[in-house]
Amino acid sequence: MAEVESCLRVGEKFQIFDEFQRRLREYKLQTKQIYCIASSQSVDAYNKKHQKKLNERLEYAYIKYSCKCGGRQRHRGTEEWKLQRYQCVM
């Protein structure tokens, strides 16, 4: 478990995004967890909305990752499931 803890640290800073992605990939392999991008904003979109401009060399203003198994369960659709009958054929 000590190897997993040394792979990524909260608040750690990276010089390039590729380095962070590589370390996140290692962490996912070691912990056997799947992380997905929950939300993100590109630098272009951020710069259009804010007076304080970010460096154009950056790809994202922010990225929020979430564990695939964690978080709030999303419900799709508004109708309740109708009771369905199945006939078992043997």
pLDDT of residue 89: 46
Sorted by sequence, the CB contacts under 8 Å of residue 36 that are 6+ apart come out as 65, 66, 68
Q: 42 and 60 in contact (C-beta within 8 Å)?
A: yes
Residues 10-54: pLDDT tens digits? 888 888 888 988 998 998 888 888 888 889 999 999 999 999 999
pLDDT of residue 1: 46
pLDDT of residue 33: 86
Helix residue ranges per DSSP H, 1-90: 2-7, 17-31, 43-49
What percentage of the chain carries pLDDT values higher than 90? 20
